[in-house]
Structure 1
Amino acid sequence: MEKPRTSLGGDGQAPFADGDVDGFVSAGGGRVAGEVVTLPGLVGEAESALAALTAGQVAEVRMLARAGQLAEAEAAGSPVNVRAHDMALRSIAAEIGGVLRSPDRTVQRRIGEAREIVEFYPAALSAWEHGFITRGHVTVIVDAGRVVPVERRGEFEREAIERSLADTPNRVRAGLELYAQMLTDRNFSERHEDAARGRAVRLIPGRDGMCDVIATVPTVIGDGILDRLTRMAHAVQDAAEPRGETTADIASASGASASTDRRTVDQIRADVFADLLLAGAPALDVTAQGDGPGALGAIRAQVQVTVSALTLLGDDENPADLIGRSPIDAGTARYLAGDTSSWTRLLTDPIDGVTVAVDRYRPSLEQRRHLRARDQHCRFPGCRIAAIRCELDHTLDHALGGPTALINLAHLCQRHHSMKQFTAWRVRQHPGGVLQWTSPTGRVYREDAPAPPVAFVPLGHPIRCHRPIPDSGEPLDDPPDRPRGLRDHETGAPFAIAAAHDPIPAPF
């Protein structure tokens, strides 16, 4: 008689009959959901999975290539073909990105890569589609073949496929790059000149509040940078090392204990690198924000950070958010808040409220500060460009009667601001700063609501400050790391800020 089953499976039955738990077998086979698993079976599943994955990837490449061709066709005949093509491509990339749940910038880059594969390497794409080579091989072929003249790419493609059939992508890369160099009709100097146009600086977020700053520069420049940093690091170490005297002798002569620099050469190089980039002082110091020295002043960096009031006051060590990047530690956030000249706090007056609207096109400084803290980043779905690097956009165009009011303003990066202006993408702003985007095909994307507004803490709350702060903004007998200027804008009494559920955005 069949053993009774309980109801867990999609067909109303459990995957195992009661008592049918003979267990799993380790080597050579096992039982998963009543099925014996063997190594040959797993290998077969791997082959099937690879075939399905390849089919999906190739289909996506062909789809993305057609998207790029569609954008080109839509812009054909336009008197401003370059801009029209770019706007059409942005709009299409955003539409597809919404479906793929991927940033439109990423989709646009992938469209370019897909067109390159489909239009210049059709044989490699076919070999990939039929399982003779992998996606990694195609990537290597495309990368290496960029230096090959268009008229010789067929020759290069045939040889590249032949080499890829018998080895892994990493092993064929070096040989293909050398082969491609043999086919090029331009000398190294000419190719270097073209490559130098791609120089750039990129920042890759890391872990635990760190990141990698990568500069793509000519080799001789990079070697010179590293050499200078190394010599400066050695000079720092030499200055910290006692020469011909013991530490005790130096301490005795100076009347103080001698200390040496315990940093490694790598650490000193990194510190000197940051010092050199951030410590210049050009004469011109214009400002566009009205909140301190301009972007050229002392070549200072500008960052946007949100941090909770409890963290600012030292009551917890929760990390702050470096908008558009990654978390940073609480100590760094407190240092930025308390020591920088561009620290601003966002007040919401419980009686008068914030500056809501002005009778002119340009928002007021108070509105810009409020919106910078509210939005934090570009408000197009998926975009994380920090608000300090975005433009304030009238959701309903000012020329069409849209007010310069908080309910009609939002931050958009230059890319998405232009896309809103020149393509069929449309946006509406709902109460609370919630944006609803509609794509050219009618799909609706409702952007997440911005961060919760700032609220005053009740008078008896334990985190409320107790000492008054003079008009100078200097706290009395407070710890040195406490943020300055935290006081009520009417009475001068200090205050703390908090939200019901989430950390408070405190922009600086």
Structure 2
Amino acid sequence: MTEAMENPGGEEYLATIAGIVADVEDAGRVIAAGQIAELRVLAAAGRLAEAQSAHADANVLLHDMALRSIAAEVAGAMRTTDRTVQRRIGEARVTIEGFPAAVAAWEAGRIVRGHVTAIVDAGVNLPAELWAEFEAAAIERCERDTPNRVRGELEILAHRMHPRTFAERHEEAASGRCVRLIPGRDGMSDLIATLPTVIAEGIQDRLTQQARAIIDTRGERSATSDVIATDARSTDQVRADVFADLLLAGTPALDDTRDTTAGPLGAIRARVQVLVPAATLSGADDGPCDLAGRSPIDPGTARLLAGDTGVWERLFHDPATGVTVSTDSYRVPSGMRRFLQARDQHCRFPGCRVAAIRCEVDHTHDHALGGRTELSNLAHLCQRHHSMKQFTAWKVRQLQGGVLEWTSPLGRTYREDAPTPAVAFTPAETTPGDPAPF
């Protein structure tokens, strides 16, 4: 082990890592088998409680008492509370009885527990008669990607399969927006706002930008202010303080130009990255839109964002004469950057879903080593995975169509296909006698 630690590129190091990976895979199979067995036992406990109150004169109270009694019995063996066990019994029945194909795929090793959770969480909002149809499509999608990547897509799939439009359900849900105060410990409390997702995302983004602006300019301003010179707050702390300042005073207290009409912090506006299907944008479809890296948003908000933005423009990719596909400079032109954001949608490391607008455009083959600034050599990576590509033994190459092939230090390969495009163009079908296209 000592030699392996001293020589991270040596054979002993790679053999040690290979052993760890194999052990993790073996442990994963054992854990999965145990988790599935536990779910089935808990579901059986729920069915037993139902059978105890199945006679004709049984009422809701009798069933609840039977379930409580069984949950308390099981809780003693699991060393947890009966309330927790009762909740888990309900969840187990929904999973085992409502989504059996997902459990079977998990048991066969085709998907993992996170996939099953994502399938159940999204599918349970559909009418029960649609569960099997949804489940079949969801399993196929889950086999190709990680749980956090597919969660948003499964939610959108469920929304589109729902007999009621997403716009109708969002309007109903939005009526429950509110702000709640939950007292905490040591003089602290949680202020929780339940808002439409795109508004909440915009608030978080603006706070983050303002916090970074304060932290990034500390060095420039510390010479003129003793307060700023001693400011050692973290990003989270600055974000919380700016949030309080904006609500209580209408402007961040540490804006260095707060005495003018428009300080730099006040000028910062939120950014959100939304994928809007063309049919939804035109109003022909009322389905959900994808807030990249997060969750679906309602079509009305997406149309409003598209109509109000000052940088809205059509994006065409014509292989013959379309967007700029290459440049001699290191800097990526804005047109190429927009195309890459539309193509990648998020960080292109396997499993990562950080939105493209939060990522860096990376030269797959390093520019300093001769890599060109062209679409076939560029892809979005978040800061974490960009650094990992630079400073670890992970390697990546870009195949045709923007597909990335990652190779781990052990030689394992992970294929990262380009996300499904938000807009696709297909050749028009023609018949003899049709006029030529123009």
Q: Is TM-score (shorter-chain normalized) higher than 0.5?
A: no
- Please give the range of the TM-score, normalised by the shorter of the 2 chains: 0.3 to 0.5
Structure (1 or 2) with the larger CA radius of gyration: 1
TM-score under structure 1 normalisation?
0.37
